[in-house]
Amino acid sequence: MALAVYPGSFDPVTNGHLNIIRRAVKLFDQVIVAVAYNVRKKGLFSVQERLEMLEFVTRDIPGVEVDSFQGLLVNYMQKRQATVVLRGLRAISDFEYEFQMAHMNNYLAADIETVFMMTGAEEFYISSNIVKEVASLDGDVSGLVPGVVEEYLRRKNKK
């Protein structure tokens, strides 16, 4: 078994992300859910808020650690001595980008493998961007995100 890193923006974490995390802990000794800090992307939530949400929703899932990183994913993985990048796929449209990233990561660090997991059938249409848009228009996102995330969205959209 190996140490896997599930990187992403998680802006915000969705039920689709949680589906991947819950299934991944059955396959790996430990899963680090790593919030990527990207200075070129302006998120709705700060990295700290994303970490708080992730820590809350994964608190009862053994084998999960929540962390954040800046810079190249492979550098973070080498620092953490992780060997597997875990990525979720919702649709064919995700595959092309993820395929390119997997090959670039392998080019940069040949000892790191990428494992793709398909999201569950109930979550394949959920994305953080869609959730944010629906929530910003006062739509119901209760089945798309955990309750605590729904509350964060409500507070953020009241500002």
Residue percentage of the chain with pLDDT more than 70: 99
Q: Which of 80, 90, 127, 156 is catalytic?
A: 90
pLDDT of residue 144: 92
17: annotated active-site residue: yes
pLDDT, tens digit, for every residue of 79-135? Answer: 999 999 999 998 777 788 899 999 999 999 999 999 999 988 787 778 888 999 999
- Domain span holding position 55: 3-124
Q: Which residue among the candidates 50, 87, 128, 132 is catalytic per the annotation?
A: 128
Please say whether the beta carbons of 15 and 143 come within 8 A: yes
The pLDDT of 20-33, averaged and rounded, is 96
Residue 27 in domain:
yes
Predicted local confidence at residue 159, as pLDDT: 65
- The model's pLDDT over 56-67, given as tens digits with 9 standing for 90+, comes to 999 999 999 999
CATH number of the domain that residue 32 is part of: 3.40.50.620
Residue 129 domain flag: no
Q: Is 103 annotated as catalytic?
A: no
Residue 52 lies in a domain: yes
Domain assignment of residue 140, yes or no: no
Q: Is 79 a residue of the active site? A: no
41, 42, 59, 159: which one is catalytic? 41
Query: Does 145 fall in a domain?
Result: no
Q: For residue 28, is it within any domain?
A: yes
Indicate the helix (H) or strand (E) that contains 118.
strand 113-118
Q: Is 41 among the residues known to form the active site?
A: yes
Please give the tally of structural domains in the chain: 1
- Residue 132 within a domain: no
b/e map 53-80, b = 16+ CB within 10 Å: bbebbbeeeebbebebbeeebbebbeeb
Is 131 inside a domain boundary?
A: no
Q: Is the pLDDT of residue 42 over 90?
A: no
